[in-house]
A = this chain, B = another copy of it.
C-alpha cells in the first residue's frame, strides 16, 4: 500500500473515502469513479511541462495509478485524449483573459472602460502564453477547430475578444466599419506576440515583457481607434 501511495496515485473523492475507512488496509477500489477526468488532468500536467508532444497515454495512466489499457474505456485513441487536453487549455486561456479583465475597476466612462477592457483581454492572452507555454502550444495543436471551450463567463477566448471589440464600437471608440478587420488584426497581434516571446524574443527579460506588450497595444489602438 505504501508503494501505491508514493507512486503517482491521484486522490479522488472515492479514494479518500476508501483511505479514511476504518479497518485493515485493503486494495484501492477496483473502479476509479472518475477516471476520464483524472486522465485528462494528468495529461494536462504532461502538456504543461512539454507541450502536446509530451502527452503520453501510458504515462498519464501510470500517474493516475491505473493500467494503460484502462484509458481505452474512455478514449478511443491517444489523439482523443490530446483533443480533450487541448479543450482544457483553451478554457484556461479564456480564464486567463477573464482574470485580467476582472483586475480592472471600471471608471464608468464608456470610452475609457472599453479601451481598458480591450487591453486587458490582450494582456491576458499574452500572459497565458508566457506563463504556460506548454498549455498554450497544446491549445492550438488541434487538427481541426471544434466548439470553442469556454471560461467562467461562458465565453471562449475568441468570444472575449469579440465582446471587447463590440464594446469599443458601442463606446464610439472604434468605427463599426473596421470591426471585422480589427478582430483578425487584434488576434494576430496578441497571438504573434505570444509566439515571439516563446521563440525569437525569449531573450527579452520577463520584467521587460509588460512594457513591450503595452507599447505594442498602444500602436494597435492607434490604428483601431477613431481620431478626434
**Separation of A201 and B145 alpha carbons in the complex (Å):** 9
| Chain A stretch 173-207: residues in CB contact (< 8 A) with chain B | 178, 180-182, 184-185, 187-196, 199-203
- Over the window 76-117 of chain A, the binary record of Cβ atoms lying under 8 Å from chain B Cβ atoms (1 yes, 0 no) is 000000000000000000000000000000000000000000
**Separation of A184 and B199 alpha carbons in the complex (Å):** 13
- Over the window 197-228 of chain A, the binary record of Cβ atoms lying under 8 Å from chain B Cβ atoms (1 yes, 0 no) is 00111110000000010011011111110010
The 7 closest A-B pairs by CB, nearest first: A192-B192, A223-B223, A188-B192, A191-B192, A181-B215, A222-B223, A188-B193
Rounded to whole Å, the gap between the CB of A194 and the closest CB of chain B is 8
A219-B182 CB under 8 A given contacts A199-B140, A199-B145, A200-B140: yes
| Chain A stretch 127-157: residues in CB contact (< 8 A) with chain B | 140, 142, 144-145
A195-B184 CB under 8 A given contacts A145-B200, A200-B140: no
A216-B184 CB under 8 A given contacts A191-B192, A196-B191, A222-B223: yes
Q: Which residues of B contact A193 (CB under 8 A)?
A: 184, 188, 192
A28 within 8 A of B: no
Q: Which residues of B contact A201 (CB under 8 A)?
A: 184
Decide if A219 touches B181 in the complex (CB within 8 Å).
yes
A172 within 8 A of B: no
Q: Which residues of B contact A178 (CB under 8 A)?
A: 219
A184-B140 CB under 8 A given contacts A196-B191, A223-B224: no
**Separation of A93 and B121 alpha carbons in the complex (Å):** 31
Q: Which residues of B contact A215 (CB under 8 A)?
A: 180-181, 184-185
**Separation of A145 and B200 alpha carbons in the complex (Å):** 6
Chain B CB count within 10 A is highest, among A187, A188, A191, for A188
A33 within 8 A of B: no
A selection of 11 A-B contacts at a CB cut-off of 8 Å is A140-B199, A144-B202, A182-B219, A184-B201, A184-B212, A184-B216, A185-B215, A187-B192, A187-B196, A188-B193, A191-B196
Q: Which residues of B contact A195 (CB under 8 A)?
A: 140, 191-192, 195
Decide if A216 touches B181 in the complex (CB within 8 Å).
yes
